[in-house]
Chain A
Amino acid sequence: MNKKTSQQIAFIIFRILGIFVVGILFWILGFIIYNGIGVISWKFLTEPPSEGMTGGGIFPAIVGTLCLIAGSSIVAFPLGILSAIYTSEYAGNGYIIKFIRIMTNNLGGIPSIIFGLFGMSLFVNTLGFGDSILAGSLTLGLLCLPLVIRTTEEALKAIPDSFRTGSLALGASKLQTVNRIILPMAFPNIITGLILSIGRISGETAPILFTVAAYFLPKLPTSIFDQVMALPYHLYVIAVSGTDLEASRPIAYGTALVLIVIVLIMNLMASFLRRKLKKY
């Protein structure tokens, strides 16, 4: 077989695989939109569930998920970004740092239910936060910390060293170099990492199961010590343990659709921010 035919065959295989992957994605999306679009209405988005979860809306769950996104972002973003700056800009490449890096990666691979149980034992029980937005946010924050650290490190590493040496050679300190040159350059990519982790946070069910999520709670939270409903857990509840599964099925699809749209909006915001921030 000559070069040209083998290349053509390879490309055909790549193309089929590519179409296959994208196809699955569109199929899932289409399936959810097709089944869920019917229940989406202003009422659905702004009212609590009613009639044993077979009617009404999902407003408390939307609010709850947004609270958890905000709470865990506050926990994970500063912590993750700062530790990534430390490990990639300051700490060098010694054995301890290598070990920490491996452990961070391992932490990212731990099943989320373990984070949930850990959060329950530490935040809910030992520290006495109870089932609350605080406990849930801390748990979700820990969960996405490795992802935030990882992506921030990658973003920082992508900046060529010539910018660092250039700045240091002008008498700038390391901190000034990081603040004035490296972080602004890495920012668009850091944002991307943060958005990815928000996607992860908003979809996780296991970590919030024992730390914050309420089965049914039409009242909106008034403090960080309140429980909330959350979209993924609500979806799980009405899909497997509602009072009338058949009747609540469309609501489940609607909930899934809302969850996907929230993640989509986050992504759009991210790419908008990226373009906005990329001045040069």
Chain B
Amino acid sequence: MIEAKNVNFYYGNFQALKDISMVMDDHTVTAFIGPSGCGKSTFLRLFNRMNELIANTRLTGECLVNGENIYQKSIDVTELRKKIGMVFQKPNPFPQSIFENVAYGLRVDGVKDKHFIKQRVEESLVSAALWNEVKDKLKKSAFELSGGQQQRLCIARALAISPSIILMDEPASALDPISTSKIEDLIHVLKKDYTIVIVTHNMQQAARVSDKTGFFMLGTLIEYNDTRKMFLNPEKEETQNYITGRFG
């Protein structure tokens, strides 16, 4: 379970998130939608502490994962990031072979057992629906794959270290429609084993893949509801306006 309690977040003097509280359940897909700059990506990146990489930022409130405040001192951020995987907007495979890309998280974690690594790489590629396309060229450069394949490779890479939560920051926005639908199918399948939070610009995508949807605007969580309800009968007028395309 992921929970935010009265979260405020600042880039310097600019307040990017305003008093956000919400709960995301296990084995569900939660989508964040909203216009550019509304804070949805910033909010997502709080949960694997990626925002810390940016200088001059400040957080108040609590971010809890399974009841534990992930910003308390005793938390090892590298351990945290092993449990909470992330997939980025642009596919970012490393300049290594397909195999090494998936094995990377295990290797930096100090896993030496070759047999285990091999097995885990295969499992992850199978889970990411990429195995059949790459099984004969695992030694080839990851850059030889198409954009959609690269993104599924990045998903496999995140799966390899057995996270419980996967954060996806607009994972399909740089992909063509066919690759996009493959990623969406994959999200449906992965939901059985993982808790998924996805940021998307594409409202149809949110409607297709998610169980719950949060609508952000100007750093505020305007509405958070079941996806069906959100798209058929939203409670707030702003949501209605955004979803029907009257602004945004």
- A interface, CB within 8 angstroms of B: 92-93, 160, 162-173, 176, 180-181, 184-185, 279-280
Contact = CB atoms under 8 A, between A and B. Distances in A.
Interface string B27-50: 000000000000000000000101
Contact of A163 (B81, B92, B143, B157): B92
Contact of A171 (B50, B79, B88, B143): B79
Given A162-B88, A168-B50, A280-B143, A173 B94 contact: no
B50 A170 contact: no
Interface in B106-134: 107-109
A181 B142 CA distance: 14
A19 to B, nearest CB: 38
Interface residues of B, number: 29
A163 B53 CA distance: 13
Given A166-B93, A167-B108, 17 more contacts: A163-B94, A166-B154, A168-B53, A169-B85, A169-B88, A169-B158, A170-B81, A170-B105, A170-B157, A171-B78, A171-B109, A172-B78, A173-B78, A173-B108, A180-B104, A279-B141, A280-B141
A72 to B, nearest CB: 31
Interface of B: 48, 50, 53, 55, 78-79, 81-82, 85-86, 88, 90, 92-96, 104-105, 107-109, 141-143, 154, 157-158, 161
B48 A167 contact: no
Contacts of A280: 95-96, 141-143
A113 B60 CA distance: 56
Nearest to A179: B108
B145 to A, nearest CB: 12
Nearest to B141: A280
A169 B85 CA distance: 7
Contacts of A166: 88, 92-94, 154
A280 B95 CA distance: 6
B104 A167 contact: yes
Contacts of A168: 50, 53, 81
A184 B50 contact: no
A165 B87 CA distance: 10
Contact of A176 (B79, B108, B142, B157): B108
A173 B79 CA distance: 10
23 contacts: A160-B92, A162-B88, A163-B94, A165-B88, A166-B88, A166-B154, A167-B94, A167-B104, A168-B50, A168-B53, A170-B105, A170-B108, A170-B161, A171-B78, A171-B79, A171-B81, A171-B82, A172-B104, A172-B108, A180-B108, A280-B95, A280-B141, A280-B142
